[in-house]
């Protein structure tokens, strides 16, 4: 009887050892799986970080060379963008829009954008915005100068036209006067308008001397352009 009990106890002990070994193996397997998962996650995060860093560095070089569209594409290709990548994407889009506004003559909008971008944490963005701001200022000054030039030209043209018109009017008055007093078509006579009061003109008439000396005064007349009346005052 005692031997039977001892045999059963020994058998139970062996079962317990086997169970412990199985449980231990399961524990080790779970621990190994957790460690593998953690390692894989860390590797993935590291890979994503490297991708963002590389994209930012490449984009900075493209921005510095004025290739904004290529810089934007580089940043948007990052599958899991970092905060820096997202921020830079926003700024590059602003740069592209500002440049478009500048080229289309929307200087105020372009200026607002460049003012904001010059406060960027990225040096390349600051410099690109500053360079564009200089172009905008030059364009504004050029437009202002061009406007002044056109205004001056128009003023000169207007003055010239006025002078030409005045000369034409005087010639017309003298022709009508000469016809009224009978001098029209005769050579050797000169006519000078000395004054005007409304439609009445004071006209001096002289006749050239054959010897080329000072022309003799023929007379001073009052000529009314409206009525055609002529009065000799001297």
pLDDT grade, residue 58 (50/70/90)?
Answer: very high
pLDDT grade, residue 30 (50/70/90)?
Answer: low
Query: How far is it, in rounded angstroms, from Cα 66 to Cα 61?
Result: 9
Domain spans in the chain, listed from the N-terminal domain onward: 52-147, 166-232
Q: What is the pTM of this model?
A: 0.47
- Angle between helix axes 83-103 and 107-117 (nearest 10 degrees) is 150
Closest CA to 225 of 166, 192, 190, 176: 176
Residue 174 CB neighbours (<10 A): 20
* Per-residue pLDDT at 9: 52
Averaged pLDDT of the chain: 79
Burial of 53 (0-12, 13-18, 19+ CB in 10 A): middle
* Per-residue pLDDT at 212: 64
* Per-residue pLDDT at 147: 47
End-to-end CA distance of the chain: 176
Length of the chain: 234
pLDDT grade, residue 15 (50/70/90)?
Answer: low
* Per-residue pLDDT at 115: 95
Q: Where are the beta strands (DSSP E) in the chain?
A: 189-197, 200-207, 216-224, 230-232
* Per-residue pLDDT at 35: 57
Query: How far is it, in rounded angstroms, from Cα 72 to Cα 55?
Result: 10
Residue, of 157 and 116, whose pLDDT is higher = 116
* Per-residue pLDDT at 37: 54
- Angle between helix axes 123-181 and 107-117 (nearest 10 degrees) is 160
Check whether 152 has a pLDDT greater than 50: no
Q: What is the mean pLDDT of residues 184-206?
A: 89
Q: Could you tell me if 136 and 114 are in contact, meaning their C-beta atoms sit under 8 angstroms apart?
A: yes
Query: How far is it, in rounded angstroms, from Cα 95 to Cα 81?
Result: 20
101 Cβ neighbours under 8 A, 6+ residues apart: 107, 109, 110, 113
Check whether 171 has a pLDDT greater than 60: yes
pLDDT grade, residue 55 (50/70/90)?
Answer: very high
Q: What is the mean pLDDT of residues 2-18?
A: 53
**CATH number assigned to the domain covering 166-232:** 3.30.160
């Amino acid at each position: 009887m005692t031997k039977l009990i001892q045999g059963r106890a020994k058998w139970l002990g062996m079962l317990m050892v086997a169970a412990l070994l199985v449980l231990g193996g399961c524990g080790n397997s779970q621990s190994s799986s957790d460690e593998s998962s953690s390692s894989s996650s860390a590797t993935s995060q590291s890979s994503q970080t490297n991708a963002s860093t590389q994209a930012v560095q490449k984009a900075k070089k493209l921005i510095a060379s004025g290739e904004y569209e290529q810089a934007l594409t580089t940043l948007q290709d990052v599958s899991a963008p970092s905060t820096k990548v997202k921020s830079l994407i926003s700024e590059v889009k602003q740069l592209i829009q500002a440049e478009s506004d500048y080229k289309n003559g929307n200087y105020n909008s372009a200026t607002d954008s460049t003012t904001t971008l010059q406060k960027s944490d990225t040096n390349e963005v600051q410099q690109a915005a500053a360079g564009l701001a200089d172009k905008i200022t030059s364009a504004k000054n050029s437009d202002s100068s061009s406007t002044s030039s056109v205004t001056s030209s128009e003023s000169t043209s207007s003055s010239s036209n006025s002078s030409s018109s005045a000369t034409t009017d005087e010639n017309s008055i003298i022709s009508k006067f000469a016809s009224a007093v009978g001098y029209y078509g005769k050579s050797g006579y000169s006519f000078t308008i000395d004054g005007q009061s409304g439609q009445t003109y004071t006209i001096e008439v002289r006749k050239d001397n054959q010897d080329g000396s000072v022309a003799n005064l023929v007379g001073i007349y009052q000529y009314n352009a409206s009525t055609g009346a002529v009065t000799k005052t001297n």
